Amino acid sequence: MIHLIYYGEPDMKRTVIVGMGFGGLRAARALAGKGMEVVVVDRRNYHLFQPLLYQVASSSLEAESIAYPARGIVRDWKRVRFRMATVTGVDFAGKRLLLADGELRYDYLILAAGGATNFFGMKSMERHAFQLKGLDHAVRLRNHIVETFERASGEDDPVKRRALLTFVIVGGGPTGVEYAGALQELIRHEFSRDYPELDMGETRILLLEAKGALLPALPATLQHYTAQRLRGMGIEVLLDTQVHGAEADKVVLAGGDNIPTHTIVWSAGVQACPLAAVLGLPRAANGRIPVGPDLTVAGDDHVFVVGDMALVEQDGRPLPMVAPVAMQQGEYAARTIVRRERGREVAPFRYRDKGSMATIGRSTAVANAFGIRLSGFPAWIAWLALHLMYLVGFRNRLVVLLNWGYYYFFRAQQVRVITADEPCVPRAAGPEGPASA
Ligand SMILES: Cc1cc2nc3c(=O)[nH]c(=O)nc-3n(C[C@H](O)[C@H](O)[C@H](O)COP(=O)(O)OP(=O)(O)OC[C@H]3O[C@@H](n4cnc5c(N)ncnc54)[C@H](O)[C@@H]3O)c2cc1C
């Protein structure tokens, strides 16, 4: 049965925002109290701080400390409501948002449904590799890493044990770099004490990058610094190395060589979320929806697309799929709606790039912000401060800060419990890889 859902006064103009991520959150905040009804729709009931997912996957943070309940965010914002639902499509002509369990009328629509992992059609990789896009992915990867050490500790065959203790991370962007560093620290500082029966010299972490450098958004000096620091930590950084596919117990390289492993972490590609593909709008590279200078879709200036879902070119280059782009676009779309309602002109969207950064490990990071290049400890402090600032919720900030402080002084990563329970009696044998989860 289809339900038509009404909030507030039916004659009040309504903006519906799809997605409570970085773009949607900023848009909703900017529209609060502006004489309009706002409804934010998300399939999840929380805002997720994706840049810290790798810390959940490396046992540094509890999952809940990087997520914040959506209703807790919007409840103090005037005339902003939250609706948990999966959006299945849009009736553009009838101005109706189609939900899995109903529909919502809108006057303005802001599509901010984000991105998804891009395996570039490599089905074997999709089946066998872990990805880091949602909380469940991060928790599953963390469970798998701890489980793998448990299995290795009971494995007498040295060849099988080495395969279990080999971790392959594909993609040398910020997520790959940050996860490689964090995993190495987990192994060196925690697992080396947790598993006295294992020789940690048998563990390998490989970071594979298809291009000739890590962290493509940063200057060459910082790219070299990053590769050097990771190698200094014992991580094998293989540049100009393409992967061809994966099996349950190996990753296959483009040249035909393979690396025996039970852990492949894929951080090599992003694309627009699946919703972008079902809207009937034109799509460009990575499935993103091209929008005009005011971020609206061609032929409908009441529909905005922002963040990872949108393709916006600036100075001849597509804007990257990063949080600051989504936040600035969300705010711009909201301001544009308000100005249009007041009969005012709107200047085209222009992204102000404040730079980028990545952490490599405890006390070391790289940053290129406002034209200033930083590496090592100062960059790490800048990274910590920025991430704390953008994390939503005082409690989350406090919990994360305490965790970081604890780790800094005691080198202890606390979250090493395997939360996926094994049945009391073993279930029938069968493959249970990342894809099935
Ligand atoms: C592991 C990882 C690390 C990252 N690190 C950084 C970093 O360090 N710095 C940086 O700037 N960027 C980073 N990013 C990228 C950044 O997180 C994204 O660019 C940003 O989140 C995009 O914002 P958005 O609003 O477009 O989408 P998102 O923040 O992804 O939000 C989209 C929302 O839409 C919802 N949604 C999707 N489909 C539907 C549907 N059909 N129905 C209802 N709701 C739906 C989702 O549940 C989600 O809440 C990282 C991303 C990942 C995955």
Chain segment 44-90, per-residue pLDDT in tens: 999 999 999 999 999 999 999 999 999 999 999 999 999 999 999 99
The percentage of residues in the chain with a pLDDT greater than 90, rounded to a whole number, is 84
Tell me, what's the pLDDT at 436?
Answer: 40
Tell me, what's the pLDDT at 156?
Answer: 96
Return residue ranges of the chain for CATH 3.50.50.60.
14-43+85-117+271-341
State whether CATH 3.20.20.150 applies to domain 14-43+85-117+271-341.
Answer: no
Categorize the per-residue pLDDT at 435 as very low, low, confident or very high, splitting at 50, 70 and 90: very low
Mean pLDDT to the nearest integer, 346-357 = 94
Q: Which of 155, 160, 381 is nearest to 250 (CA)?
A: 160
Tell me, what's the pLDDT at 431?
Answer: 47
Instruction: Give Cα 94 distance to the centre of its chain.
Output: 33
Neighbours of 281 (CB within 10 A): 20
Q: Which of 167, 114, 170, 134 is nearest to 52 (CA)?
A: 134
135 in contact with ligand 1, CB cutoff 6 A: no
Q: 315: left (phi > 0), else alpha (psi -120 to 50), else beta?
A: left
154 C-alpha vs ligand 1 centroid, how far in Å? 39
Return residue ranges of the chain for CATH 3.50.50.100.
123-266+355-410
Residue pLDDT, tens place only, 354-387 = 899 999 998 999 999 888 999 999 999 999 999 9
Tell me, what's the pLDDT at 437?
Answer: 40
23 in contact with ligand 1, CB cutoff 6 A: yes
Mean pLDDT to the nearest integer, 98-113 = 97
16 in contact with ligand 1, CB cutoff 6 A: no
324 in contact with ligand 1, CB cutoff 6 A: yes
Residue 178 is a catalytic residue = yes
Mean pLDDT to the nearest integer, 381-401 = 89
138 in contact with ligand 1, CB cutoff 6 A: no
Residue pLDDT, tens place only, 313-340 = 999 999 999 999 999 999 999 999 999 9
**Catalytic residue (choose from 37, 103, 178, 190):** 178
State whether CATH 3.50.50.100 applies to domain 123-266+355-410.
Answer: yes
How far, in Å, CA of 393 to CA of 70, rounded? 11
Instruction: Give the mutation target among 16, 18, 22 for probing the ligand 1 site: most ligand atoms within 8 A of CB.
Output: 22
Q: Whose CA is nearest to atom 38 of ligand 1?
A: 113
Q: Whose CA is nearest to atom 23 of ligand 1?
A: 22
Residue 6 has pLDDT above 60, yes or no: no
Residue pLDDT, tens place only, 130-157 = 999 999 999 999 999 999 999 999 999 9
Residues 6+ away with beta carbon under 8 Å from 329 = 23, 295, 306, 307, 310, 312, 349, 351
Reported as half-sphere exposure (CB side, CA atoms, 13 A), residue 291 has a value of 30
